[in-house]
């Protein structure tokens, strides 16, 4: 669907974005910005969608069926600032002919860098080492101080071989990891060959055989608690789990228990089941790195995400198809 209107579209942006993005949004559109950066309440979102032509939400906004039901007839586009759209009821939006777009691609490499950083930092105990040094406990080199585990030669199992999973696979191969993956279907043979990746149709078998697991699938009803207590129990005791996707994919309470009991060796987490809350059992564990949902947080990606949002809005109002439409769930 495309449309033309003879005025600047009225845009509501739910969170503070970089100044350069704000400037362009104000130039191009009749934009209402949330400069205070306090997340909008559901009641505020309901009011916002009554008069907007376009809503620009982020991962912290719950755009559920109630919000969509409250939308006025002017609301034609939800242009999400972010790749994941699990916080938006896409089916409800589509039922009301509201297009949903996202910002894929521009955050792939940065997110993969961050996942790779965790893949290296957890086995090599980077954060624990930093804490020890700052605590004044570095008294000189010792042969047994802060021993970690070698990364090279280990088996990495990527759960979800989309853009980000593949970008992690490229980095992991360069670090000498052996790349394995589980996905709904295998990637094409040329991609599999280029990534030197081995496909596991059965997630349970892959988890039982990997040294490190990286979660890179989207959050959907099917992937909710995909990493369950049983699957964690199947991992080897030296196993490490990395999550830069969505917290809901791992049963966080089960993960905290598995780490506390030594059932698995470590974790690197950037996302949580009930953000910004983190399971209290994780907070005191020395074998876990906890990041505040920053895998894509570079100046560059935020600007490019902003550009993608604006391109999608302009496309619609210039009478073109939005390039990053999110399709209805299969």
Q: Output the smallest distance, CB 172 to ligand 8YV, in A.
A: 20
Q: Output the smallest distance, CB 57 to ligand 8YV, in A.
A: 8
Instruction: Write down the residue that tokens 């009225």 correspond to.
Output: 10
Instruction: Write down the residue that tokens 């052996």 correspond to.
Output: 178
Q: How many residues does the chain have?
A: 330
103 CB-near residues (< 8 Å, 6+ apart): 80, 81, 82, 83, 304, 305, 308, 309, 324
Helix axes 299-317 and 19-28, enclosed angle (nearest 10): 10
Q: Output the smallest distance, CB 144 to ligand 8YV, in A.
A: 38
- What residue number has its CB nearest to ligand 8YV? 82
Query: Could you say which DSSP state residue 235 is in?
Result: S
From the list 75-83, 125-133, 173-181, 225-233, the region that binds ligand 8YV by CB under 6 A is 75-83
Catalytic residue among 24, 246, 279, 302: 246
Query: Could you say which DSSP state residue 325 is in?
Result: B
Among 24, 78, 81, 273, binds ligand 8YV (CB under 6 A): 81
Neighbours of 84 (CB within 10 A): 18
Binding flag, residue 289, ligand 8YV (CB under 6 A): no
293 is catalytic: yes
Site string for ligand 8YV, 27-66 (x = CB under 6 A): -------------------------------xx-------
325 is catalytic: no
The sheet with strand 212-215 has its strands ordered as 197-199, 178-182, 155-159, 212-215, 240-243, 266-269, 288-290
Catalytic residue among 62, 87, 149, 293: 293
Binding flag, residue 82, ligand 8YV (CB under 6 A): yes
Strands (E), 271-321: 288-290
246 is catalytic: yes
Among 83, 169, 172, 210, binds ligand 8YV (CB under 6 A): 83
């Amino acid at each position: 669907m495309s449309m033309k209107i003879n005025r600047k579209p009225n845009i509501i942006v739910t969170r503070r974005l970089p100044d350069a993005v704000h400037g362009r949004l104000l130039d191009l559109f009749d934009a209402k910005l949330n400069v205070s950066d306090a997340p909008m309440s559901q009641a505020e979102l309901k009011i916002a969608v009554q008069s907007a032509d376009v809503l620009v939400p982020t991962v912290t906004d719950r755009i559920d069926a109630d919000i969509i039901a409250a939308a006025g007839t002017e609301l034609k586009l939800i242009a999400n600032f972010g790749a994941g759209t699990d916080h938006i009821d896409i089916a409800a939006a589509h039922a009301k002919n509201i297009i949903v777009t996202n910002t894929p691609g521009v955050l792939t490499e940065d997110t993969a860098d961050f996942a790779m950083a965790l893949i290296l930092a957890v086995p090599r105990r980077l954060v624990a080492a930093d804490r020890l040094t700052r605590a004044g406990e570095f008294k000189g080199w010792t042969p047994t101080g802060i021993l970690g585990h070698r990364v090279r030669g280990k088996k990495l199992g990527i759960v979800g071989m989309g853009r980000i999973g593949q970008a992690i696979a490229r980095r992991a191969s360069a670090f000498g990891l052996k790349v394995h993956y589980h996905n709904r279907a295998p990637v094409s043979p040329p991609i599999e060959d280029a990534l030197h990746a081995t496909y596991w149709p059965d997630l349970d078998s892959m988890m039982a055989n990997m040294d490190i697991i990286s979660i890179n699938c989207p959050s959907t009803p099917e992937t909710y608690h995909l990493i369950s207590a049983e699957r964690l129990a199947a991992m080897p005791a030296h196993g490490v789990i990395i999550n830069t996707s969505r917290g809901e994919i791992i049963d966080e309470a089960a993960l905290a228990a598995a780490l506390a009991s030594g059932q698995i060796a470590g974790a690197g987490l950037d996302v949580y089941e009930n953000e910004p809350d983190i399971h209290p059992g994780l907070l005191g564990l020395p074998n876990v790195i906890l990041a505040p949902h920053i895998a894509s947080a570079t100046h560059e990606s935020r600007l490019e995400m902003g550009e993608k949002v604006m391109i999608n809005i302009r496309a619609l109002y210039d009478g073109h198809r939005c390039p990053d439409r999110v399709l209805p769930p299969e």
